[in-house]
C-alpha cells in the first residue's frame, strides 16, 4: 500500500519509519523543503500544480499538519480514502468550531466568548474578568495572532496585533498542570487510548512530556477517555487524535485538539507497546489497532535550537535519541530523547542527567519536582 502524506516534516518522517515494517510505502507532498527526504519520494509543489500527480502515486492519503486548506483536503478526499477526514481538519482549524463541538459533546472548557470588533473584545474582557487571552479563530503555522489582555483597556491594541475580523476570548485557568490524551480510532470504530501525559511548556514550546502522567488517577484517565471518545465518534474519525487539557482542582478542561500524531506522544516510540505512529498507520490502512500499554515510565525531552552533545546522550544506557536531520536554529525542534525508567524517582534523576547535555533545555520542572 502506498500512503501519501501531506507535509514532510518530522511527523511524516516518523510515520514512514513506523510504516515501512508494515510494508507500506510513502510519498510526501510538501510546499517547501523537507527533512523526510530519503525516506520516500517527496513532491515539492509551491504552486499546487502537482496534486494530481501526487494522487496518482498513492492509495490512501493522510496529513501530518492541520493547516492544509480544507478545499484541498476535500478535493483529495473525493479521489482517495483520506484519514482523518476533511471534517476533522475543518473543526481543528477553527477555534470557534472546536470549542462549540467541545460544548455540544459536554466536554468542559475554560469560559470563552467570540468578539468581532475591538469594542466587543473590551466588553467580553470585562464580562469574563481579566486577564484573558484573545486569539484569532483561525491560526497559521507560526502561532501568531494571540494577545493577552491584562485589562479591558488593552482591547484596542490587542485587536490591532491580532489583525483578524473574529477572535475567540478565553478566560485564564488556574491549572495544576497541562496534560494530553492521545487516542486512535480504527476504520471499524475500535478505539484505543494511551495513558495521559503530563506536558511541560517553556516559552510556548513543549519541553518535556512524562507518561504515564505522575499521580494520574484512573478517574481522570477515564474522564479524558470519555471526552476524546466522544470527539472521535462524532467526527467518525480514523487515525490518531490528540486532546490537550488542563488539569484543575475541579477536573479537566479541554484546551485544544490536533488531528494527528503529536509531540506529546513521542514517548510511545519506546515507552509503549505500539507507537502512536504505527497506530496511525494501522488505523488509516484498515488494520487492527496495536496494543497501547506503556512499557515502564517515560519522559520525552525535546531537543530545541541546538543539538547539544549527541555522543554523551548516546552513551546514556536509558536514553533513546531521535533526530530529525534538521539544521540548528533558535526555537526549532531538532529531535527528542526518550528516557525510560522503572520509578519516577529514577526518571527525574535520569531526565536531569540527560538535560545537562542539551544546552537549550530549561530546568526540569514538573509535578514530580514540585513535590520536592
Q: Tell which one of 201, 315, 328, 342 touches a second copy (CB under 8 A).
A: 315
Q: Tell which one of 146, 248, 325, 353 touches a second copy (CB under 8 A).
A: 325
φ and ψ of 353, to 5 deg: -65, -40
174 is in an annotated binding site: no
Helix (H, G, I), strand (E, B) or coil at 220: helix
Q: How far is the CB of 354 from a second copy (least distance, A)?
A: 14
CA distances, 276 to each of 11, 17, 18, 87, 138 (Å): 10, 12, 9, 21, 26
Q: Whose Cβ is closer to a second copy: residue 18's or residue 155's?
A: 18
Q: How far is the CB of 186 from a second copy (least distance, A)?
A: 10
Ordered DSSP codes for 305-370: S----HHHHHT-TTEEEEE------TT-EEEEEEEEESSHHHHHHHHHHHHTT-TTPPP--SHHHH
Q: Whose Cβ is closer to a second copy: residue 59's or residue 96's?
A: 59
Q: 10 Å Cβ neighbour count for 307?
A: 18
- Chain centre distance of CA 285: 21
- Distance separating alpha carbons of residues 192 and 195, to the nearest angstrom: 10
Q: Whose Cβ is closer to a second copy: residue 169's or residue 284's?
A: 284
φ and ψ of 86, to 5 deg: -55, -30
Contacts of residue 286, defined as CB under 8 A and 6 or more positions apart, other chains included, come to 186, 187
Candidates 38-46, 54-62, 78-86, 257-265; binding stretch for a second copy (CB under 8 A): 38-46
Q: How far is the CB of 205 from a second copy (least distance, A)?
A: 21
170 is in an annotated binding site: yes
Q: Whose Cβ is closer to a second copy: residue 295's or residue 365's?
A: 295
Candidates 42-50, 61-69, 164-172, 319-327; binding stretch for a second copy (CB under 8 A): 319-327
Q: How many residues bind a second copy (CB under 8 A)?
A: 33
Q: How far is the CB of 357 from a second copy (least distance, A)?
A: 12
Candidates 17-25, 122-130, 202-210, 233-241; binding stretch for a second copy (CB under 8 A): 17-25
- Distance separating alpha carbons of residues 107 and 276, to the nearest angstrom: 23
Q: Whose Cβ is closer to a second copy: residue 237's or residue 318's?
A: 318
Rg (CA), the chain: 20
- Distance separating alpha carbons of residues 310 and 208, to the nearest angstrom: 18
Q: Are strands 2-6 and 25-30 parallel, antiparallel or unpaired?
A: parallel
Candidates 42-50, 233-241, 255-263, 317-325; binding stretch for a second copy (CB under 8 A): 317-325
Q: Whose Cβ is closer to a second copy: residue 39's or residue 206's?
A: 39
Q: How far is the CB of 288 from a second copy (least distance, A)?
A: 4
Site for a second copy in 216-275 (CB under 8 A): 273
By CB under 8 A, tell whether 207 contacts a second copy: no
Site for a second copy in 275-314 (CB under 8 A): 282, 287-288, 290-291, 293, 295, 310-311, 314
Q: How far is the CB of 269 from a second copy (least distance, A)?
A: 9
Q: Are strands 146-149 and 297-304 parallel, antiparallel or unpaired?
A: unpaired
Q: Grid coordinates standing for 44?
A: 515539492
Q: Which region, left, alpha or beta, applies to residue 125 given φ > 0 means left and ψ of -120 to 50 means alpha?
A: alpha
Burial class (CB in 10 A: 0-12, 13-18, 19+), 150: exposed
Q: How far is the CB of 295 from a second copy (least distance, A)?
A: 7
Q: Whose Cβ is closer to a second copy: residue 53's or residue 309's?
A: 309
Binding site members for ATP: 95, 135, 140-146, 170-173, 178, 201, 255-256
Binding site members: 95, 135, 140-146, 170-173, 178, 201, 255-256
Site of interaction with a second copy (CB under 8 A)? 13, 17, 20-23, 25-26, 38-41, 273, 282, 287-288, 290-291, 293, 295, 310-311, 314-315, 317-318, 321-325, 335, 340
Amino acid at each position: 500500500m502506498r500512503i501519501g502524506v501531506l507535509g514532510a516534516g518530522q511527523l511524516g518522517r516518523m510515520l514512514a519509519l513506523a510504516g515501512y515494517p508494515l510494508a507500506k510505502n510513502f510519498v510526501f507532498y510538501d510546499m517547501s523543503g523537507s527533512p523526510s527526504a530519503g525516506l520516500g519520494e517527496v513532491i515539492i509543489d509551491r504552486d499546487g500544480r502537482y496534486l494530481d500527480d501526487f494522487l496518482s502515486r498513492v492509495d490512501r492519503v493522510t496529513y501530518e499538519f492541520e493547516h492544509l486548506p480544507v478545499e484541498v483536503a476535500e478535493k483529495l478526499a473525493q479521489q482517495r480514502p483520506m484519514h482523518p477526514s476533511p471534517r476533522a481538519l475543518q473543526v481543528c482549524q477553527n477555534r470557534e468550531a472546536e470549542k462549540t463541538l467541545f460544548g455540544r459533546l459536554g466536554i468542559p472548557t475554560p469560559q470563552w466568548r467570540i468578539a468581532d470588533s475591538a469594542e466587543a473584545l473590551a466588553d467580553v474582557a470585562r464580562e469574563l474578568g481579566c486577564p484573558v487571552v484573545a486569539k484569532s479563530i483561525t491560526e497559521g503555522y507560526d502561532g501568531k495572532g494571540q494577545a493577552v489582555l491584562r485589562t479591558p483597556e488593552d482591547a484596542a491594541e490587542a485587536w490591532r496585533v491580532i489583525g483578524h475580523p473574529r477572535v475567540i476570548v478565553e478566560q485564564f485557568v488556574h491549572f495544576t498542570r497541562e496534560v494530553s490524551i492521545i487516542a486512535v480510532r480504527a476504520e471499524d470504530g475500535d478505539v484505543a487510548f494511551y495513558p495521559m501525559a503530563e506536558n511541560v511548556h517553556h516559552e510556548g514550546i513543549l519541553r518535556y512530556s512524562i507518561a504515564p502522567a505522575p499521580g494520574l488517577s484512573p478517574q481522570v484517565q477515564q474522564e479524558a477517555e470519555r471526552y476524546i471518545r466522544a470527539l472521535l465518534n462524532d467526527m467518525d474519525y480514523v487515525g490518531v487524535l490528540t486532546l490537550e487539557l488542563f488539569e484543575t482542582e475541579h477536573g479537566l478542561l479541554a484546551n485544544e485538539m490536533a488531528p494527528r500524531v503529536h509531540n506529546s506522544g513521542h514517548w510511545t516510540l519506546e515507552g509503549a507497546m505500539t507507537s502512536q505512529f504505527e497506530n496511525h498507520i494501522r488505523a488509516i490502512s484498515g488494520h487492527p489497532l496495536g496494543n497501547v500499554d506503556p512499557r515502564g515510565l517515560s519522559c520525552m525531552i525535546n531537543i530545541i535550537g541546538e543539538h547539544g552533545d549527541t555522543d554523551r546522550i548516546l552513551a546514556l544506557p536509558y536514553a533513546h535519541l531521535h533526530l530529525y536531520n534538521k539544521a540548528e536554529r533558535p526555537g526549532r525542534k531538532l529531535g527528542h530523547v526518550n528516557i525510560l525508567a522503572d520509578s519516577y524517582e529514577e526518571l527525574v534523576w535520569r531526565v536531569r542527567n540527560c538535560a545537562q547535555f542539551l544546552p537549550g533545555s530549561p530546568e526540569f520542572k514538573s509535578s514530580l519536582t514540585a513535590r520536592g
